[in-house]
Amino acid sequence: MQVAVLAHEKFPERAKTAVGVIRYSDYDVTAVLDRDRAGGQVNEYLPGVPDAPIVSGMEDVENADALLIGIAPIGGGFDESWRADVENALNRGCDVISGLHYFLSEDPEFAELAAANDCELWDVRKPREDLTVSQGIGKDVDAEVILTVGTDCSVGKMTVSLELARAAQERGIDAAFIPTGQTGIMIEGWGNPIDRVVSDFTAGAVEEMIVEKGDEYDYLFVEGQGTIIHPAYSAVTCGILHGSMPDKLVLCHAAGRESIHGYEDFSIPPVETYIDLYEDLAAPVHETEVAAGALNTMDIVEDGPARNAVSEYAEDLGVPATDPVRFEKSEVLEALL
Amino acid sequence: MQVAVLAHEKFPERAKTAVGVIRYSDYDVTAVLDRDRAGGQVNEYLPGVPDAPIVSGMEDVENADALLIGIAPIGGGFDESWRADVENALNRGCDVISGLHYFLSEDPEFAELAAANDCELWDVRKPREDLTVSQGIGKDVDAEVILTVGTDCSVGKMTVSLELARAAQERGIDAAFIPTGQTGIMIEGWGNPIDRVVSDFTAGAVEEMIVEKGDEYDYLFVEGQGTIIHPAYSAVTCGILHGSMPDKLVLCHAAGRESIHGYEDFSIPPVETYIDLYEDLAAPVHETEVAAGALNTMDIVEDGPARNAVSEYAEDLGVPATDPVRFEKSEVLEALL
């Protein structure tokens, strides 16, 4: 499927969804919409991914079957400056894929245009109506379940789960990635947006995916969310920990991060604190252990210092660690499989 | 306000909401609807509360301004055998108060009848549309925040918070009860149904109430939910723990309970495990301590053995404990205030 990715004024640094989709999805990305960087090429900013032109709006996109909203303002609202792009897309018969909290399918104008042009409006973050409470049966599946957990939000848990699942697949292992957030769901084409379900159903919405895939695969790499000590989002993290009943955890951290992103009053404690919290909280439901670490070294330019940071992180954890985007993954994979 | 309470076939043992409302609300309960026990009196089953007749349906209720649904089937659906009672209530101009997951205000027939008769359909469990994420500011209010936490669901956290708040008020202390579940909301007439909000907003929906009341009172007694090790509901518990940022915790347990209610695969660990989990998980967000215990001794008939169970529980916890429904509360209150 040919897809245009909207990332106005934010590509690539503040366009986490756009970058995730470009890097990991099977979509053929034919253009990125960013009015500030129009005329450029994706590869100028993101080397090593399939290249595409950056254009100022949907009217400059030649081929597309869908428009994908690749950014989210704080609060997940719809920015009215994007309306012309969505209209243009629908008028030419493109589907629109969005992970915003604002549901495009409930916007009367978009709903009408979509119906008139026989297009789909896929609101990735709209939970299915039939989700319900956990039955406590995630532990009964055949697959080994490996969950990424974090010291904070935005440290790269989705990326780590995807990188490890793919590295396992390349070794011939029957592994699947279990998406729990909007970018992961867009990449895989299915999944429950756990941060958006009714709070009583948090664990249940994860469990349902584990149960659905758990007897088909040998390993499930579950995308974690937030951190267990997040002042706002810990409920989501806790529900995923108990709902997925992981056998092993990968503790993800961003090098140099010292306080919770956006909540600077709250410091990030030593990694040992996280190991104890995740393991102790999981144990009464299902025993697990932090078996590996992943360090996001994006902010360290040189490879030497980045490697040193990874070594130090592994030493603090007492288990193998890597930056799976930048360095080799075999040692970490062996600790998990 | 005169209220009839619907509790068909479940009064009083399986009618937690009905009993909570009869015991703690300011409503004048004029009748209980239970077709299995029609002809009896409330006091035959619940001594020490204002008495009322038990009748078989709304047509036998003489005076009522509202009908309150006081039971919830598993899953929170609407039982069609109650439809005639709701119709009767609306036709005679009564409001209807419900904490079901099934929203009466979205039932076309009820919505029409309510509009025709100028009645309100109050779906207590329907969250307000404007709830959002926590800002991490619960700790900044003037009031001391005291949260009940549990070893399981249905151990009496709401009751303990209400009993302690009222005992504090009787001492002349400026204390408020903060409701987080449907029964508490019905009793107080306001509050956010935390188990029903979007999971990303779990902590935020609690924080909003703390911030709203926190500078008006000296003590806030926050109603806890679930348990931090619940296979299905721990997300709600975790969000309340971090969103309310309590200064002190009261650990609630039901005497003799050995496994998680409805999830018998999962044993209840020793109380020390809960103390460590709640305190350690809270600490990175806001330091707190288990300062008292509450033991639900409902299943122990004789006072002597019940007192022994409370003493043993206090010893295990290392802090004062009581059954606040049955025994004195002063020692526990002093540990909290």
Would you state the pLDDT for residue B287? 98
Would you state the pLDDT for residue B83? 98
Question: Nearest to residue B126, comparing CAs of B195, B66, B79?
Answer: B195
How buried is residue B299: exposed, middle or buried, by Cβ count under 10 Å (0-12/13-18/19+)?
exposed
pLDDT in tens, B38-70: 999 999 999 999 999 999 999 999 999 999 999
Kindly indicate the confidence band of residue A74, based on its pLDDT and cuts at 50, 70 and 90. Answer: confident
Interface test with B, best of A151, A199, A210, A280 (most B CBs within 10 A): A199
Annotation: CATH topology of A2-123: Rossmann fold (3.40.50)
What b-and-e string marks burial along A160-176, b requiring 16 or more CB atoms within 10 Å of the CB? bbbbbbbbbeeeeeebb
Would you state the pLDDT for residue B213? 98
Q: What ipTM score was computed for the predicted complex, to two decimals?
A: 0.95
Write out the residues of chain A at the interface with chain B, using a CB-CB cutoff of 8 A: 75, 132-136, 194-204, 228-239, 241-243, 263, 265-267, 269, 273, 276-277, 280-281, 284-285
Helices marked H in chain B — which ranges? 16-24, 42-45, 83-91, 108-116, 157-170, 182-188, 202-213, 234-244, 271-282, 303-317, 330-336
What is the rounded average pLDDT of the residues B239-247? 98
- Nearest CB among B194, B232, B238 relative to A133 is that of B232
First to last CA, chain A: 33
Residues of chain A with Cβ-Cβ distance to B269 below 8 Å are 284
Interface test with A, best of B131, B196, B198, B287 (most A CBs within 10 A): B198
- Nearest CB among A203, A241, A284 relative to B232 is that of A203
Task: Indicate if the pLDDT at residue A62 is higher than 90.
Answer: yes
Annotation: CATH topology of B138-336: Rossmann fold (3.40.50)
How buried is residue B223: exposed, middle or buried, by Cβ count under 10 Å (0-12/13-18/19+)?
buried
Distance CA A22, CA B266 (A): 43
Contacts of A246 (CB under 8 A, 6+ apart): A145, A146, A147, A222, A282, A286, A288
Task: Indicate if the pLDDT at residue A40 is higher than 80.
Answer: yes
What is the rounded average pLDDT of the residues B310-329? 98
Question: Nearest to residue B278, comparing CAs of B143, B142, B144, B148?
Answer: B148
Task: Indicate if the pLDDT at residue A56 is higher than 80.
Answer: yes
> For the residues of B38-104, what is the DSSP string, one character each?
TT-BHHHHSTTS---BEESSGGG----SEEEE----TT----GGGHHHHHHHHHTT-EEEE--SS-G
B178 strand-pairing partners: B222
Distance CA B321, CA A292 (A): 42
Residue A60 near residue A4 (C-beta atoms within 8 A): no
Asked if B198's CB is within 8 angstroms of A263's CB, the reply is no
Asked if B281's CB is within 8 angstroms of A228's CB, the reply is yes
Residues of chain A with Cβ-Cβ distance to B194 below 8 Å are 199
The CA-atom distances, in angstroms, between A274 and each of A204, A249, A295, B79, B319 are 24, 11, 14, 45, 27
pLDDT in tens, A119-138: 999 999 999 999 999 999 99
First to last CA, chain B: 33
- Nearest CB among A235, A277, A280 relative to B235 is that of A235
Chain A: residue whose CA lies nearest to B133:
A232
Task: Indicate if the pLDDT at residue B73 is higher than 90.
Answer: no
Interface test with A, best of B135, B139, B153, B202 (most A CBs within 10 A): B202
Residue type, A292: A
How many A-B residue pairs are in contact by the CB < 8 A criterion? 144
Kindly indicate the confidence band of residue A75, based on its pLDDT and cuts at 50, 70 and 90. Answer: confident
- Nearest CB among B199, B273, B276 relative to A239 is that of B199
- Nearest CB among B196, B203, B228 relative to A200 is that of B196
Chain B: residue whose CA lies nearest to A76:
B132
Would you state the pLDDT for residue A76? 80
The dihedral through the CA atoms of A15, A20, A25, A31 has a sign that is positive
Distance CA A244, CA A39 (A): 44
Long-range CB pairs of B175-179, under 8 A, 24+ apart, other chains included? B175/B217, B175/B218, B175/B219, B175/B220, B175/B221, B176/B143, B176/B213, B176/B216, B176/B217, B176/B219, B176/B220, B176/B221, B177/B221, B177/B223, B178/B206, B178/B209, B178/B210, B178/B213, B178/B220, B178/B221, B178/B222, B178/B223, B178/B244, B179/B223
H or E element, residue A3: strand A2-6
Distance CA A135, CA A153 (A): 28
pLDDT in tens, B126-163: 999 999 999 999 999 999 999 999 999 999 999 999 99
Two tokens at B56?
Answer: 């078989």
Would you state the pLDDT for residue B37? 97
What is the rounded average pLDDT of the residues B281-302? 98
- Nearest CB among B228, B273, B285 relative to A231 is that of B285
Chain A: residue whose CA lies nearest to B265:
A136
Kindly indicate the confidence band of residue A73, based on its pLDDT and cuts at 50, 70 and 90. Answer: confident
Would you state the pLDDT for residue B72? 86
Residues of chain A with Cβ-Cβ distance to B132 below 8 Å are 75
Asked if A203's CB is within 8 angstroms of B199's CB, the reply is no
A100 to chain B nearest CA, in Å?
13
Question: Nearest to residue B243, comparing CAs of B278, B214, B206, B208?
Answer: B206
Give the whole-number percent of chain A exceeding pLDDT 70. 100
Two tokens at B10?
Answer: 């479940």
Contacts of B108 (CB under 8 A, 6+ apart): none
What is the rounded average pLDDT of the residues B188-192? 97
pLDDT in tens, A287-333: 999 999 999 999 999 999 999 999 999 999 999 999 999 999 999 99
Asked if B203's CB is within 8 angstroms of A199's CB, the reply is no
B193 to chain A nearest CA, in Å?
10
Task: Indicate if the pLDDT at residue B74 is higher than 80.
Answer: no
Asked if B75's CB is within 8 angstroms of A233's CB, the reply is no
B251 strand-pairing partners: B149, B293
Residue A85 near residue A78 (C-beta atoms within 8 A): no
**Is the fold of B2-123 the same as that of B138-336?**
yes
Task: Indicate if the pLDDT at residue B75 is higher than 80.
Answer: no
- Please tell me what DSSP assigns to residue B131: -
Task: Indicate if the pLDDT at residue B333 is higher than 80.
Answer: yes
* R_g of chain A, CA atoms, integer Å: 20
Task: Indicate if the pLDDT at residue A25 is higher than 90.
Answer: yes
Asked if A196's CB is within 8 angstroms of B199's CB, the reply is yes
Kindly indicate the confidence band of residue A101, based on its pLDDT and cuts at 50, 70 and 90. Answer: confident
Task: Indicate if the pLDDT at residue A27 is higher than 90.
Answer: yes
Residues of chain A with Cβ-Cβ distance to B281 below 8 Å are 228-229, 277, 281
Distance CA B124, CA B184 (A): 10
How buried is residue B87: exposed, middle or buried, by Cβ count under 10 Å (0-12/13-18/19+)?
middle
Residue B259 near residue B268 (C-beta atoms within 8 A): yes
B116 to chain A nearest CA, in Å?
29
CA dihedral (B38, B44, B45, B46) in degrees, to 10, reads 120
What is the rounded average pLDDT of the residues A209-215? 97
What is the rounded average pLDDT of the residues A156-168? 98
Give the whole-number percent of chain B exceeding pLDDT 70. 100
Residue type, B79: D
Write out the residues of chain B at the interface with chain A, using a CB-CB cutoff of 8 A: 75, 132-136, 194-204, 228-239, 241-243, 263, 265-267, 269, 273, 276-277, 280-281, 284-285
Give the whole-number percent of chain A exceeding pLDDT 90. 98
Two tokens at B267?
Answer: 């044993």
Residue A34 near residue A8 (C-beta atoms within 8 A): yes
Distance CA B20, CA B6 (A): 13
A48 to chain B nearest CA, in Å?
34
Asked if A229's CB is within 8 angstroms of B234's CB, the reply is no
Contacts of B56 (CB under 8 A, 6+ apart): B33, B34, B35, B38
- Please tell me what DSSP assigns to residue B37: S
The dihedral through the CA atoms of B300, B301, B303, B304 has a sign that is negative
The CA-atom distances, in angstroms, between A212 and each of A138, A145, A191, A209 are 10, 13, 11, 5
Asked if A200's CB is within 8 angstroms of B198's CB, the reply is no
Please state the domain extents for chain B. Answer: 2-123, 138-336
Two tokens at A230?
Answer: 């997040």
What is the rounded average pLDDT of the residues A258-286? 97
Distance CA A269, CA A248 (A): 21
Residue A117 near residue A93 (C-beta atoms within 8 A): yes
